[in-house]
C-alpha cells in the first residue's frame, strides 16, 4: 500500500508448518506465512517503510541484501528485533533495477533462521536502467526462482546438523524452489525470464538446461548487464542472483538443473562441500501454443565503469578458517573506516581450501580482475554484492561509498556461507 507518499510493507516473522512432501507437516519459518516471504517491489525514487514484527520466540533482524541504504536501516546484527517487538526501517530507493532479497541477520543465528525459511525477494524497478522489451509480467514470463537445499530427518523435519565431515554447514539432498518440492513451471510465452536466487545457506549451484542448450544471461546481483550473454552454465553461490532468459518451443519440456559446481575439486570439495553434487531444479513445461516474445536487444544498459585510478584507499581481505585477516567478528571493533564519496579497491582472497565468498552491505561493486590473472566471466561483468571465492583464489573489486555516513553504526562484510558468518567470518565498516 502507498500512504503519505510512502510505500508501506508489513512483515511478520513467524513459525508454521509446511507440507514438503515428507509425509506430513514440516516445521518451517516464514514472513506472513509458514515458509519464505512475499516478494516486495518498489520503484527507484520511492520512499519505503517496512513494519517488521517479530512473531518468533527469539531475536531476529531483517537485512536488505544488495540494498543501498543507511546503516541504521540495514537490518544487520546491530538492529535486533526482540520477540513481540516491531521495527520499522525506512529509506528511499536509489539504485538500478535489480533482483535483491531479504533475510535475517541476527548475531550467530543467521544460518538457522534462513534455513528454517526466512527469506524473500525484493525487486527494484527503475525505467532508466531497465529494458522494456525483456519479459516483464510477474509470475507469467518474469518469475522469481528461489533455490534452496534442505536435509530432512526421519520425522520429516529439517535436519540442521550439517553433513558429516563438512566444513561449510548444512547441505541438503532435497531442493525446494520457492518452497516447493519437485517444482514445475508452466510456460506460456516463447521467452521466460527467471530471476534466480541461490537462497541456500552453504550450497553452490551451477545452473544448466537438461539438453545442454544455451540460455541468455541478462542480469546479476545489482542489475542488468551491458549486454546479454549466451551461456550453457551459470555458477551461483549463496546469496547471489542472476536473471536469465530461456527460449522455449511449443509443447516441450526442459529441466533447469544444477551440474557439479566444483567438478575438478579434490575429494573434500566434491564429497564434503557439495562440489560433486547434481540436482534437477525446476521443470519448464511449455504450453502447446506460446505467446510471442520480443527479441532480446543486442545491448541492455550502459553501466559506468569505476576507475581504479580514482581509488582513495586499497585494502586486502584474506579469508581463512573462520577469520578475515586473522580476526573474527567483534561487535566493538570496526575493521574499516571509509570516507563518504570515495572509491576503494579491495582484494578479497580465499587463503585456504574451504570454499568461501565475499559479500558487502550498502554498495554494489565491480570486479576488476582475478588474483590469478585469469579472465573475468560474464556473470561477474556487472554490479555485484556477492562473489564466490574458490579455494586459494580471489578477486580485486572496486566500489564507491555514497550518500550515507554514520560513524556509530557499522555495516557488515562477510562470507555468505552462513555458518562461517555465524562463526565469526565477518567484519565491520563504517562510512564517515
Ligand atoms: Cu545476505 Cu550480510 O547478508
Ligand atoms: Cu547483505
Ligand atoms: Cu566461508
Q: Which pLDDT value is given to residue 429?
A: 98
Q: Taking 80 as the threshold, does the pLDDT of residue 166 lie above it?
A: no
Q: What is the pLDDT of residues 255-271, one digit of tens each?
A: 999 999 988 888 878 88
Closest CA to ligand 1's atom 3: 65
Bridge partners of 282?
256
* Rounded Cα–Cα distance for residues 205 and 271 (Å): 15
Q: Can you point out the beta strands (E) in 304-393?
A: 311-320, 323-324, 336-338, 342-350, 356-360, 365-370, 386-389
Q: What is the pLDDT of residues 222-257, one digit of tens each?
A: 999 999 999 999 999 999 999 999 999 999 999 999
What Cα–Cα distance (Å) separates residue 173 from each residue in 17, 26, 279, 414, 429? 20, 16, 9, 26, 36
Environment of ion ligand 3 (residues, CB < 5 A):
356, 415, 417, 420
* Rounded Cα–Cα distance for residues 167 and 420 (Å): 9
* Rounded Cα–Cα distance for residues 269 and 328 (Å): 24
Ligand 1 neighbourhood includes 63 CB (under 6 angstroms): yes
Q: Which pLDDT value is given to residue 283?
A: 98
ipTM for the complex shown: 0.99
Q: Please compute the mean of the pLDDT values over residues 119-134 and round it to a whole number.
A: 96
Q: Taking 90 as the threshold, does the pLDDT of residue 272 lie above it?
A: no
Q: What is the pLDDT of residues 140-158, one digit of tens each?
A: 999 999 999 999 999 999 9
Q: Please compute the mean of the pLDDT values over residues 97-120 and round it to a whole number.
A: 98
Listed residue (321, 376, 380) closest to 168, CA to CA = 321
CA of 389 from ligand 2 middle (Å) equals 16
Among the atoms of ligand 1, which is closest to the Cα of residue 413? 2
Closest CA to ligand 1's atom 1: 65
Radius of gyration for the alpha carbons in the chain, expressed in angstroms and rounded: 20
User: Which ligand has the minimum distance to the alpha carbon of residue 104?
Assistant: 1
Q: Taking 90 as the threshold, does the pLDDT of residue 5 lie above it?
A: no
Listed residue (264, 359, 269, 270) closest to 317, CA to CA = 359
* Per-chain mean pLDDT for the chain: 96
Q: Which pLDDT value is given to residue 270?
A: 83
Q: Please compute the mean of the pLDDT values over residues 207-219 and round it to a whole number.
A: 98
Q: What is the pLDDT of residues 170-186, one digit of tens each?
A: 999 999 999 999 999 99
Q: What is the pLDDT of residues 35-68, one digit of tens each?
A: 999 999 999 999 999 999 999 999 999 999 999 9
List phi, psi (to 5°) of 268: -60, -45
Instruction: Pull the grid cell for residue 316.
Output: 586486502
CA of 316 from ligand 3 middle (Å) equals 16
Among the atoms of ligand 1, which is closest to the Cα of residue 426? 2
Q: Which pLDDT value is given to residue 162?
A: 77
Q: Which pLDDT value is given to residue 137?
A: 98
Residue 156, by phi and psi: left (phi above 0), alpha (psi -120 to 50) or beta? left
Among the atoms of ligand 1, which is closest to the Cα of residue 63? 3
Q: Are strands 120-125 and 40-43 parallel, antiparallel or unpaired?
A: parallel
What Cα–Cα distance (Å) separates residue 86 from each residue in 10, 12, 51, 109, 210? 10, 9, 7, 19, 45
Q: Which pLDDT value is given to residue 24?
A: 76
Q: pLDDT higher for 217 or 168?
A: 217
Percent residues over pLDDT 90 in the chain: 93
Ligand 1 neighbourhood includes 241 CB (under 6 angstroms): no
CA of 302 from ligand 2 middle (Å) equals 25
Q: Taking 80 as the threshold, does the pLDDT of residue 163 lie above it?
A: no
Ligand 1 neighbourhood includes 420 CB (under 6 angstroms): no
Q: Which pLDDT value is given to residue 225?
A: 98
Q: Which domains does the chain have, with CATH numbers?
A: 2-127 (2.60.40.420), 142-291 (2.60.40.420), 308-431 (2.60.40.420)
* Rounded Cα–Cα distance for residues 429 and 336 (Å): 5
Q: Which pLDDT value is given to residue 344?
A: 98
Ligand 1 neighbourhood includes 195 CB (under 6 angstroms): no
Q: What is the pLDDT of residues 278-324, one digit of tens each?
A: 999 999 999 999 999 999 999 999 999 999 999 999 999 999 999 99
Q: What is the pLDDT of residues 368-400, one digit of tens each?
A: 999 999 999 999 999 999 999 999 999 999 999
Amino acid at each position: 500500500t502507498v500512504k503519505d507518499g510512502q510505500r508501506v510493507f508489513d512483515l511478520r516473522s513467524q513459525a508454521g508448518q509446511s507440507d514438503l512432501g515428507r509425509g506430513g507437516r514440516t516445521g518451517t519459518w516464514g514472513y506472513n506465512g509458514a515458509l519464505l516471504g512475499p516478494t516486495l517491489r518498489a520503484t527507484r525514487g520511492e520512499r519505503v517503510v517496512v513494519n517488521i514484527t517479530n512473531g518468533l520466540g527469539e531475536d531476529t533482524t531483517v537485512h536488505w541484501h544488495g540494498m543501498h541504504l543507511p546503516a541504521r536501516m540495514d537490518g544487520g546484527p546491530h538492529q535486533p528485533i526482540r520477540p513481540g517487538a516491531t521495527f520499522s526501517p525506512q529509506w528511499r530507493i536509489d539504485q538500478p533495477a535489480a533482483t535483491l532479497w531479504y533475510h535475517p541477520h541476527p548475531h550467530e543465528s543467521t544460518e538457522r533462521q534462513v534455513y528454517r525459511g526466512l527469506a524473500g525477494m525484493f525487486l527494484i524497478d527503475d525505467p532508466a536502467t531497465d529494458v522494456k522489451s525483456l519479459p516483464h509480467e510477474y509470475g507469467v514470463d518474469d518469475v522469481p526462482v528461489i533455490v534452496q537445499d534442505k536435509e530432512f530427518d526421519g520425522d520429516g523435519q529439517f535436519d540442521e546438523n550439517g553433513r558429516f565431515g563438512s566444513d561449510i554447514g548444512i547441505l541438503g539432498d532435497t531442493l525446494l524452489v520457492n518452497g516447493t518440492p519437485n517444482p514445475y513451471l508452466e510456460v506460456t510465452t516463447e521467452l521466460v525470464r527467471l530471476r534466480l536466487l541461490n537462497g541456500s545457506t552453504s550450497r553452490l549451484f551451477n545452473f544448466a538446461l537438461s539438453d545442454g542448450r544455451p540460455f541468455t544471461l541478462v542480469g546479476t546481483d545489482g542489475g542488468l548487464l551491458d549486454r546479454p550473454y549466451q551461456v550453457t552454465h551459470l555458477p551461483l553461490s549463496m546469496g547471489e542472483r542472476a536473471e536469465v532468459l530461456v527460449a522455449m518451443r511449443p509443447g516441450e519440456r526442459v529441466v533447469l538443473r544444477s551440474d557439479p559446481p566444483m567438478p575438478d575439486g579434490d575429494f573434500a570439495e566434491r564429497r564434503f562441500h557439495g562440489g560433486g553434487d547434481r540436482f534437477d531444479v525446476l521443470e519448464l513445461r511449455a504450453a502447446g501454443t506460446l505467446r510471442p516474445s520480443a527479441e532480446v536487444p543486442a545491448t541492455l544498459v550502459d553501466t559506468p565503469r569505476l576507475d581504479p585510478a580514482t581509488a582513495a584507499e586499497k585494502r586486502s581481505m584474506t579469508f581463512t578458517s573462520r577469520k578475515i585477516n586473522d580476526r573474527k567478528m567483534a561487535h566493538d571493533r570496526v575493521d574499516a573506516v571509509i570516507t563518504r564519496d570515495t572509491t576503494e579497491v579491495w582484494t578479497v582472497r580465499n587463503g585456504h581450501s574451504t570454499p568461501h565468498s565475499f559479500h558487502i552491505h550498502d554498495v554494489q561493486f565491480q570486479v576488476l580482475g582475478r588474483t590469478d590473472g585469469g579472465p573475468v566471466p560474464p556473470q561477474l561483468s556487472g554490479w555485484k554484492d556477492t562473489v564466490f571465492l574458490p579455494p586459494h583464489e580471489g578477486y580485486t573489486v572496486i566500489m564507491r561509498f555514497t550518500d550515507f555516513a554514520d560513524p556509530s553504526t557499522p555495516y557488515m562484510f562477510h562470507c555468505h556461507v552462513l555458518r562461517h558468518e555465524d562463526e565469526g567470518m565477518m567484519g565491520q565498516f563504517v562510512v564517515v
